Amino acid sequence: MRVAFLVAPEGVEESELTGPWEAVTEAGGEPVLVSTWPGEVLSFRHLEKGDRFVVDQVVGEVSAGMFDALVLPGGVANPDQLRTDAEAVDLVKDFVDQGRPIAAICHGPWLLIEADAVRGRTLTSYPSLATDIRNAGGTWVDEAVRVDSSGPTTLLTSRTPRDLPAFNEALVGVFTTAAAAAR
């Protein structure tokens, strides 16, 4: 299972990157850090600067067909930057169009909204995105994890770092099943 983790050059919530990354690795998968710029990305621990992580590939050099699934970590600044980057939004649309599963946590669903992927779907997120999801035609629920398989791709969403254990467990299950079915 090869999984893209799409992040901006800075602002990704560190635990929302490292927790799912470790879960994918422990499940025998290959996580790949994709960003809009080469080099390193700077994570944050809420509002404090966190660790730096080396970018594996730049968004313009990849397509959904290179991966089995996509993870959209949160942090406020991270998805806010990505949703204004046309190539990042196009990559998310590519995953949707190809029916590859997407997992988004916290503010990560902003990218799903920008990619017009929430209409008619049920998601959870950081509570401040509830109105954004509803305005984009989705249904927002206050749950630790929500898996919606009603559209062209499975969307797995979660609220906050507090929900990471449930998010990671669901993510590994959904991604492993999808990767096996694709082979």
Could you give the residue numbers annotated as active site? 106
Question: Alpha helices, DSSP H only, in 39-105?
Answer: 77-82, 86-97
Q: What angle do CA 120, 3, 136 make, to 5 degrees?
A: 20
**Cα-flanking dihedrals φ and ψ of residue 147, to 5°?**
-110, 120
State the amino acid at position 138 in one-letter form.
G
**Cα-flanking dihedrals φ and ψ of residue 23, to 5°?**
-65, -40
Question: Of 54, 39, 106, 38, which Cα lies nearest the Cα of 77?
Answer: 106
Rounded to whole angstroms, what are the CA distances from 171 to 3, 21, 66, 136, 177?
A: 11, 10, 18, 24, 10
